[in-house]
Chain A
Amino acid sequence: DQQVKQNSPSLSVQEGRISILNCDYTNSMFDYFLWYKKYPAEGPTFLISISSIKDKNEDGRFTVFLNKSAKHLSLHIVPSQPGDSAVYFCAASATGYNTDKLIFGTGTRLQVFP
């Protein structure tokens, strides 16, 4: 039972354009969402997060949008740069349960070409 889904395994975007990565979840108990970026042979690094009490969070070129009614979140990268090429994982957590456990999606490989 995949509670967090990233339905696009890969995405290719031209440098300077917008990259939009999508994520869907099924568990209504999730109230905190994160995006991690992963390069080969490295562990995931935290990118940006959003609490369920918000619908948008911005950090520089990165913006995460949350649509609770649709159980959908997206990560926007504007403008995209070649260094953004990596695998992006969406993750969710149910806070207040005395755990830091994260449920991850299967990842989307982003390639930004010149």
Chain B
Amino acid sequence: KAGVTQTPRYLIKTRGQQVTLSCSPISGHRSVSWYQQTPGQGLQFLFEYFSETQRNKGNFPGRFSGRQFSNSRSEMNVSTLELGDSALYLCASSLSILDSSYNEQFFGPGTRLTVL
């Protein structure tokens, strides 16, 4: 079974530009979450999508947005890039079975975004 894939793996942008990152979850997984990893901050939760709807959101400015398509693939967009947006962006998918105690998340390799 193929794992979570993310494209592109590396990206260099300049301040003020916008960027779109893509995530393809494991086949059959319905939930996709996005995290930002920066040195010293660990992984910070961005948002979570389930059945094309955002069902949870972290404490990030409105410049960060996302969406999920009917095939569960997800994209996240960052507009008006700032230097501080340089980070590793990780996508995770899970089965998200209702009434399950916990749905384990499987992570992709991430997209390394550098803002110059």
Residues of B whose CB lies within 8 Å of any CB of A are: 4, 31, 33, 35, 40-45, 48, 55-56, 90, 92, 94, 96, 98, 101-110
Contacts and interface: CB of A to CB of B under 8 A. Distances in A.
Contact of B56 (A6, A51, A89, A99): A99
A113 interface: no
B4 A43 contact: yes
A101 interface: yes
Contact of B101 (A32, A36, A103, A104): A32
B42 A105 contact: yes
Contact of A43 (B55, B101, B107): B107
A100 B4 contact: no
Q: On chain A, which size bracket covers the interface?
A: 20 to 34
Contacts of B48: 99-101
A47 to B, nearest CB: 11
Nearest to A90: B42
Nearest to A40: B88
Contact of B106 (A46, A89, A95): A46
Given A99-B55, A99-B56, A100-B48, A44 B107 contact: yes
A102 interface: yes
Contacts of B56: 99, 101
Given A100-B94, A100-B96, A49 B102 contact: yes
Contacts of A42: 109-110
A41 interface: yes
Interface string A14-33: 00000000000000000010
Question: What 6 A-B pairs come out closest when comparing CB atoms?
Answer: A43-B107, A106-B42, A104-B43, A32-B102, A104-B42, A99-B56
Contacts of B4: 43
Contacts of A103: 45
